[in-house]
């Protein structure tokens, strides 16, 4: 009973394990592997409290293997060697070993390499758990030797079952209303450990009733979960997934979704100035010249936050985000810039045409620098029709193709008109 409730409630069989039906439903490969006892090295990738450690224990139990566990947060080379040596001793006795490495992404590349030969020769079955994207954090060699399983945040139904199961096992005379149950599961945010930790605290605060039972007061639950934060990692997957969702909501012209993701990030502790910088990028990448005011509005929001700070300045960023979302969209400049960069990198150092060069010295003038250059302001409509500005080897190019939205409608009309003047001048 000294162990935390979350540890006491750890499932001992697949039948009592809740959630992850996409992996453990009838006929699913992972379930079949566990039930058959056929071990293979694997990686569990998912948020906290979704059952990674529990699954590893269940796998060891079903396969009758010794369970060894080390944490990359607390362990180093010494602990890795000790675990490998213990697995070798079990192997000599004819016993298989499952080595569970929690937070495996926190090991550096050389520490991860230490597992490889022993995975190869079957000294142990390797099971790693990580909350971060393995593609970025783990060696390719280790990734290639372990099958990846993606665990999801627990659905509210699974959390309800876990809490009710705990009440049945731990507190038979405890009453919890449906509203109170909903408070706990909502605050848990897909994390079974968090749900059970909240329950354990509020059990101690339960109010005795005349019939000898105890009732959990909803106000006590509210007090316990008041400071609970939604899942957010300032440097991890949740961070990049949410900024991606914000950007795509703006691009998709949905101001409500864009504001929701901004609020989620603020609630999770993001630096608002990071969002402000990203919003400036959105103004150029996704709105561009379809509404040139968008860029200035985002810069104003950035400046406003730097002047006012939080929380007042966050409103200015929210205003800019909503403006970008409803503004006409164009990625024409973004596409043009990428095409130009690609041509510049592939084309070498083409020389500047002689007529475009300045001639500040006599020698340069004698070489023809600036000769025959046409000063646009002296031409009709301030446009030197037929003039060339690209390197001779490249020829005339058109990278920027305005779209038929917002201000770019007029820009396109102007560019098409000037192109007609060029054609007429070259044909004359």
pLDDT at res. 278: 93
Regarding whether 140 and 24 lie in a shared domain, the answer is yes
Q: What pLDDT does residue 32 have?
A: 85
| Residue 383 pLDDT class (50, 70, 90 cuts) | very high
Residues 112 and 179 in one domain: no
Q: For residue 206, what pLDDT is reported?
A: 77
Tens digit of each residue's pLDDT (9 = 90 or more) over 184-207: 888 888 899 889 888 888 887 777
Q: Tell whether 31 and 123 lie within a shared domain.
A: yes
With respect to residue 122, please indicate whether it lies within any of the assigned structural domains: yes
Q: Is the pLDDT of residue 232 over 60?
A: no
How many domains, in total, are found in the chain? 4
pLDDT (tens digit per residue) in 249-289: 999 999 999 999 999 888 878 889 989 999 999 999 999 99
Q: Please tell me the predicted confidence (pLDDT) of residue 346.
A: 84
When pLDDT is cut at 50, 70 and 90, the band that residue 113 belongs to is confident
pLDDT class for 227, splitting at 50, 70, 90?
low
Range of the domain at 176: 156-225
Question: At 298, which CATH number?
Answer: 1.20.272.10
Query: Is the link from the previous residue into 311 a cis peptide, with omega within 30 of 0?
Result: yes
313, pLDDT greater than 70:
yes
Cβ–Cβ under 8 Å, residues 187 and 220: no
- pLDDT on residue 308: 92
Closest to 267 measured CA to CA, from 220, 234, 316: 234
- pLDDT, tens digit, for every residue of 316-331? 999 999 999 999 999 9
Query: Are 144 and 30 found together in one domain?
Result: yes
- The H helix count followed by the E strand count for the chain is 21, 8
What are 36-75's pLDDT values in tens digits? 877 888 999 988 889 999 999 988 888 888 999 988 888 7
**Residue 100: its pLDDT value, please?**
93
Percent of the chain with pLDDT over 90: 39
Q: Are 48 and 131 in contact (CB under 8 A)?
A: yes
Could you tell me which residues come within 8 angstroms of residue 52 by beta carbon, excluding any fewer than 6 positions away? 44, 46, 102, 129, 151
Q: Is the domain of 101 the same as that of 78? A: yes
pLDDT at 306: 92
DSSP state of 334: H
Q: For residue 230, is it within any domain?
A: no
For residue 378, the domain's CATH number is 1.10.3710
pLDDT at site 139: 84
pLDDT value of residue 37: 75
pTM assigned to the model: 0.60
> Is the distance from CB of 418 to CB of 427 less than 8 angstroms?
no
Q: Convert the pLDDT of each residue in 346-366 to its tens digit.
A: 877 888 999 999 988 989 888
Query: pLDDT tens for residues 142-161?
Result: 888 889 999 998 998 999 99
Does residue 175 surpass a pLDDT of 90?
A: no
Is 81 a member of any domain?
yes
| End-of-domain residue from the set 150, 173, 192 | 150
Query: pLDDT category, 399, cuts 50, 70, 90?
Result: very high
Residue 126 pairs in a beta bridge with 99
Q: Are residues 255 and 298 in the same domain?
A: yes
Domain co-membership, 365 together with 254: no
Helix (H, G, I), strand (E, B) or coil at 214: strand
- Same domain (yes/no): 33, 110: yes
List Cβ neighbours of 196 (8 Å cut-off, separation of 6 or more). Answer: 4, 5, 6, 9, 162, 163, 166
pLDDT at 321: 97
- Is there a domain that residue 340 lies in? no
Structural contact between residues 15 and 180, judged by C-beta atoms closer than 8 angstroms? no
Regarding whether 322 and 261 lie in a shared domain, the answer is: yes
pLDDT above 90: residue 78:
no
Q: Has residue 133 got a pLDDT over 60?
A: yes
Residue 237, pLDDT score: 61
- The better pLDDT of the pair 172, 378 is held by 378
Q: What CATH number is given to the structural domain containing 126?
A: 3.40.50.300
The pLDDT of residue 248 is 94
In a domain, 1, yes or no: no
How many angstroms separate the CA atoms of 79 and 106, rounded? 14
> Please, which contacts does 292-298 make with residues 24 or more away whose CB atoms are closer than 8 Å?
292/407, 294/323, 294/324, 294/327, 297/323, 297/324, 298/324
Same domain, 32 and 125: yes
Q: Write down the H helix ranges in 171-254.
A: 178-188, 192-204, 218-225, 237-251
363 domain residue, yes or no: yes
CATH assignment of the domain containing 188: 1.10.8.60
* Structural contact between residues 384 and 374, judged by C-beta atoms closer than 8 angstroms: yes
**DSSP-based three-state secondary structure for 69:** strand
| Residue 231 falls inside a structural domain | no
Give the distance, in angstroms, between the CA of residue 355 and the centroid of all CA atoms in the same chain: 51
Task: Tell me which of 167, 192, 225 is where a domain ends.
Answer: 225
Q: How many CB atoms lie within 10 A of CB 4?
A: 11
CA distance 309 to 54: 44
Q: Are 299 and 232 in contact (CB under 8 A)?
A: no
CA distances from 128 to 103, 107, 189, 388 (A): 7, 11, 23, 62
Residues 356, 280 share a domain: no
Residue 119 within a domain: yes
| One domain, residues 140 and 24 | yes
Q: What is the mean pLDDT of the chain?
A: 87
Q: Select from 128, 150, 172 the last residue of a domain.
A: 150
């Amino acid at each position: 009973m000294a162990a935390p409730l979350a540890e006491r409630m750890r499932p001992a069989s697949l039948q009592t394990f809740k959630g992850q039906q996409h992996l453990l439903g009838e006929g699913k490969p992972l379930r079949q592997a566990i039930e058959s006892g056929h071990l293979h090295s694997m990686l569990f990738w998912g948020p906290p409290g979704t059952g990674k450690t529990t699954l590893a224990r269940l796998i060891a139990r079903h396969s009758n293997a010794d369970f060894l566990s080390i944490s990359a947060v607390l362990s180093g080379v010494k602990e890795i060697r000790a675990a490998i040596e213990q697995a070798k001793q079990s192997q000599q006795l004819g016993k298989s070993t499952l080595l569970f490495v929690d937070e495996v992404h926190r090991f550096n590349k050389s520490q991860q390499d230490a597992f490889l030969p022993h995975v190869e020769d079957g000294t142990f079955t390797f099971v790693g758990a990580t909350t971060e994207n393995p593609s970025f954090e783990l060696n390719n060699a280790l990734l290639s030797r372990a099958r990846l399983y993606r665990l999801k945040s627990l659905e509210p139904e699974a959390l309800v079952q876990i809490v009710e199961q705990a009440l049945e096992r731990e507190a038979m005379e405890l009453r919890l209303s449906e509203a109170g149950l909903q408070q706990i599961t909502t605050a848990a945010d897909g994390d079974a450990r968090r749900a059970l930790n909240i329950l354990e605290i509020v059990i101690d605060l339960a109010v005795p009733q005349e019939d000898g039972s105890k009732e959990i007061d909803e106000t006590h639950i509210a007090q316990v979960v008041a400071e609970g934060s939604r899942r957010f990692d300032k440097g991890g997957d949740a961070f990049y997934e949410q900024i991606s969702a914000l950007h795509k909501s703006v691009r998709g012209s949905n101001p409500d979704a864009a504001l929701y993701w901004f609020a989620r990030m603020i609630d999770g502790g993001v630096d608002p100035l990071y969002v402000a910088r990203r919003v400036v990028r959105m103004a150029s990448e996704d709105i561009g010249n379809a509404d040139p005011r968008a860029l200035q509005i985002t810069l104003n929001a950035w400046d406003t936050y730097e002047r006012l700070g939080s929380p007042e300045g966050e409103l200015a960023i929210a205003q800019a985000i909503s403006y970008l979302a409803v503004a006409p969209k164009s990625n024409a400049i973004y596409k043009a810039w990428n095409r130009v960069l690609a041509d510049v990198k592939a084309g070498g150092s083409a020389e500047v045409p002689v007529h475009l060069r300045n001639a500040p010295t006599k020698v340069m003038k004698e070489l023809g620098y600036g000769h025959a250059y046409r000063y646009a302001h002296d031409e009709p409509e301030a446009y030197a029709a037929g003039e060339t500005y690209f390197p001779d080897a490249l020829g005339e190019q058109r990278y920027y193709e305005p779209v038929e939205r917002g201000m770019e409608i007029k820009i396109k009309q102007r560019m098409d008109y000037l192109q007609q003047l060029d054609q007429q001048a070259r044909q004359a």
